[in-house]
Structure 1
Amino acid sequence: MPQTLSYRVETHRLAAPFRISGYVFEASDVVVVELDDGRNRGRGEAAGVYYLGDEAPQIVEALEQNRAAIEACGSREEVRQILPPGGARNAVDCSMWELEALRSGIPAHRLAGIDAPRPLVTTFTLGADEPSKMAEGARNYASAKAIKIKLTGSFELDIERVRAIREARPDVWLGVDANQGFDRSVLPALVQAMARQNVSLIEQPLARGSEADLEGFESPIPIAADESVLDLADVPGLVGRFQVVNIKLDKCGGLTEALLMAKEARRLGLGVMVGNMVGTSLAMAPAFILGQLCDYVDLDGPTFLKEDRVPSVQYSDGEIWCPDDVWGSQSAVLAA
């Protein structure tokens, strides 16, 4: 059934600047796509992938270039053929999921094979700052059960950051995200230092393109690929190098591809993680479905915004819950 494509670009300000290795975020520009078949309207949100030059202008350009094909496409699989992995495909794919849910009367989570979603423990992320300020931030996450720490590649300072946070919160699960900030020569020392602080996951320590440097590297802490894995085609190359794959809908191009990646990762013996680019609850909702299949969940994006959408996902007792009225069901249409 053909549908009409529309979209808008929204700027969502962050409550405070957010720093990672090599980048500082102050706002998140997202593209909201709507597909309307005259009776039902599906929605999807994408922020794109900044380090690939895939941001709002590029997403809009891709949508316009492929408008006719998108409006004529009849399935999510066709979307995978029309658009490459990235933000444009993510927004269109998620719109197709919601459209299919409304047409069929079956919620998106059931279409994905999830009969009864459950609340998920999610990490809450601390941007890189002075160790004392990060420790204070960890204490402010009073209900958090899991905290992810952004590193910058400054080895001694990063060690101090993690030590300060562990002292402030000896009770929580800790993971660190290096965002490609280190090189192979310091990796053994980094792993040893993280092990001393009872860190449970190290995310993307080396630059994308340096995956071979991890070949055969033995770490007592699982190492997760983020920038090193974009879509389904990248997953087999992680074996023997990483232990976990971080799947983000903006990277891979939507929930359809993400579910295929999770299945393939499991087949290959890899752990599975769902992550996010900073976005609103409309972006978290389809990722929440993927999170039902994951070992690690990092879906705290809306907590960084000055203001989220209403209705929104809910954060309580260190967990995320996505009510039916956010996305992917008739209840969401009535609430929109």
Structure 2
Amino acid sequence: MQVHLKKYTLPLKHTFSISRESHDFQDTMIASLTLNGKTGYGEATSNPYYKITTQSMMDEISAISSEIERFEFTTPEIFHAFLVSKGLSNFAICALDLAAHDLYGKLLGKPLYEIWGTSIENYPTTNYTIGIAAIDVMLAKMQEMPWPIYKIKLGTSDDVAIVRELRKHTDAIFRIDANCAWTATETIHNAPLLKELGVEFLEQPLKADDWSGMEEVMHHSVLPVIADESCIVESDVEKCALHFSGINIKLTKCGGLTPALRMIKKAKELGISVMVGCMTESTVGISAIAQLIPQLDYVDMDGALLLKSDIATGVHIEPDGKVIFPKLAGSGVQLLE
């Protein structure tokens, strides 16, 4: 099995800001795996919060590239276990796991959602993310992209006022992501005000390790709260079920589709809602996420919609949120090159 790695810098349509950082470009790494004339593609982005760069991922994978090429590929799950045994970071594992799943589907001639026994007749609509900015800039972004659901990034001194102003211009559902910027007291205070403004849920309002604060929020918040930074890997799901209404799974953080499928199953067993989110990936990563949507309650897979230009074809999202799946098997990805 041949392995190939390539770095890309993805240009964003607009400066993207959250509570802890801003950027105009997103560095990403595309991994490809080729076997029997078929090629699968996977992706993982750099991430300063988790101290991951495209170069660090490439160095990790290059160090075991000869072992990957000798590996007798049968299923993505067995390949994933091999990668874990080599001690790679979850981001690097994610890129290879996504490529392995895409390859596996292409070898079988079936899309992944079909292999998993799910139907794409019904699925949740992705939100469209509005980063932190001046009110007029946030409004301009909403007007540029009319959408049924917006995720609003917050973490300022005027968060409720921002939502109140945005609400004057749209009837869309709002979701709020504070990216760890609030305290328990702020969250409990803001929740009823935001609920009146049509907010559906809050995502990770507190710092990732503030479990006592989240317990307080769970007892007093009038809005559901979804874990993001507090839910990284499979072992986090059970603890999050005691402190959150649901979890947001990020493929890069957990290590790909293989563990994500297990996390979805576990969350459903525990009776909490399930969301899968993106990291401003290209269509390569978004197409992998899209294979999971029949299994989800919520999804945030607008990454490719935030780009000025893309590097691949695959799953396409229409202006009304409808998802168009390609006829190509696996994740349906092809690099534009």
TM-score (norm 2): 0.90
Could you give the per-residue CA deviations for residues 204-245 of structure 1, whole angstroms, max 9, x where no partner exists? 001111123212533221101011111111100112210010
Post-superposition offset of 1:262: 0.7
Q: Measured at CA, do residues 326 and 204 of structure 1 come closer, stay the same or move farther in structure 2, by a change above 3 Å? A: farther
Q: Measured at CA, do residues 209 and 119 of structure 1 come closer, stay the same or move farther in structure 2, by a change above 3 Å? A: closer
Query: Which residue number in structure 2 is paired with residue 125 of structure 1?
Result: 129
Structure 1 residue 101 corresponds to structure 2 residue 105: yes
Q: Which amino acid aligns with 2:290?
A: F
1:29 and 1:335 mapped to 2: Cα distance? 17
Q: Measured at CA, do residues 32 and 325 of structure 1 come closer, stay the same or move farther in structure 2, by a change above 3 Å? A: farther
2:309 and 2:328 mapped to 1: Cα distance? 15
Match of 1:89 among 79, 87, 93: 93
Contact 2:175 2:202 survives alignment (8 Å): yes
Match of 1:285 among 284, 287, 290: 287
1:55 and 1:292 mapped to 2: Cα distance? 31
1:50 and 1:206 mapped to 2: Cα distance? 19
Question: What secondary structure is seen at the aligned counterpart in 1 of 2:55?
Answer: helix
Match of 1:241 among 240, 243, 246: 243
Post-superposition offset of 1:309: 3.2
What are structure 1's unaligned runs of at least 5 residues?
none
Contact 1:134 1:164 survives alignment (8 Å): no
1:335 and 1:25 mapped to 2: Cα distance? 24
Mapping of residues 315-326 of structure 1, within 5 Å: 315-325=317-327
Post-superposition offset of 1:86: 2.2
Query: RMSD in angstroms over aligned alpha carbons?
Result: 2.2
Query: Which residue number in structure 1 is paired with residue 300 of structure 2?
Result: 298
Mapping of residues 160-239 of structure 1, within 5 Å: 160-169=161-170, 171-216=171-216, 217-218=218-219, 219-239=221-241
Contact 1:118 1:321 survives alignment (8 Å): no
Q: Measured at CA, do residues 206 and 332 of structure 1 come closer, stay the same or move farther in structure 2, by a change above 3 Å? A: closer
Fraction of identical pairs, as percent: 27
Q: Measured at CA, do residues 232 and 134 of structure 1 come closer, stay the same or move farther in structure 2, by a change above 3 Å? A: same
Contact 1:43 1:94 survives alignment (8 Å): yes
2:13 and 2:328 mapped to 1: Cα distance? 22
1:102 and 1:118 mapped to 2: Cα distance? 24
What are structure 2's unaligned runs of at least 5 residues?
none
Q: Measured at CA, do residues 120 and 86 of structure 1 come closer, stay the same or move farther in structure 2, by a change above 3 Å? A: same
Q: Measured at CA, do residues 151 and 73 of structure 1 come closer, stay the same or move farther in structure 2, by a change above 3 Å? A: farther
Post-superposition offset of 1:116: 3.8
Match of 2:153 among 144, 150, 159: 150
Q: Measured at CA, do residues 85 and 293 of structure 1 come closer, stay the same or move farther in structure 2, by a change above 3 Å? A: farther
Could you give the per-residue CA deviations for residues 47-74 of structure 1, whole angstroms, max 9, x where no partner exists? 1443111221221122123323433153
Q: Which amino acid aligns with 1:107?
A: P
Question: What secondary structure is seen at the aligned counterpart in 1 of 2:291?
Answer: helix
Contact 1:282 1:327 survives alignment (8 Å): no
Question: What secondary structure is seen at the aligned counterpart in 2 of 1:292?
Answer: helix
Contact 2:130 2:142 survives alignment (8 Å): yes
Q: Which amino acid aligns with 2:95?
A: A
Contact 2:38 2:103 survives alignment (8 Å): yes
Question: What secondary structure is seen at the aligned counterpart in 2 of 1:103?
Answer: helix
Contact 1:325 1:334 survives alignment (8 Å): no
Contact 1:326 1:332 survives alignment (8 Å): yes
Q: Could you list the runs of 4 or more consecutive aligned residues of structure 1 that deviate by over 3 angstroms after TM superposition?
A: 115-120, 331-336
Q: Measured at CA, do residues 210 and 31 of structure 1 come closer, stay the same or move farther in structure 2, by a change above 3 Å? A: same
Match of 2:266 among 264, 267, 273: 264
2:262 and 2:173 mapped to 1: Cα distance? 28
Structure 1 residue 14 corresponds to structure 2 residue 18: no
1:222 and 1:85 mapped to 2: Cα distance? 31
Contact 1:4 1:36 survives alignment (8 Å): yes
Could you give the per-residue CA deviations for residues 94-153 of structure 1, whole angstroms, max 9, x where no partner exists? 1111211122222222122224455641101111112233233323332x110110002x
Q: Measured at CA, do residues 309 and 321 of structure 1 come closer, stay the same or move farther in structure 2, by a change above 3 Å? A: farther
Contact 2:10 2:25 survives alignment (8 Å): yes
2:89 and 2:263 mapped to 1: Cα distance? 12
1:73 and 1:215 mapped to 2: Cα distance? 46
Structure 1 residue 66 corresponds to structure 2 residue 67: no
Contact 1:247 1:258 survives alignment (8 Å): yes
1:234 and 1:73 mapped to 2: Cα distance? 31
Contact 2:312 2:333 survives alignment (8 Å): no
Q: Which amino acid aligns with 1:163?
A: R
1:121 and 1:247 mapped to 2: Cα distance? 16
Contact 1:44 1:91 survives alignment (8 Å): yes
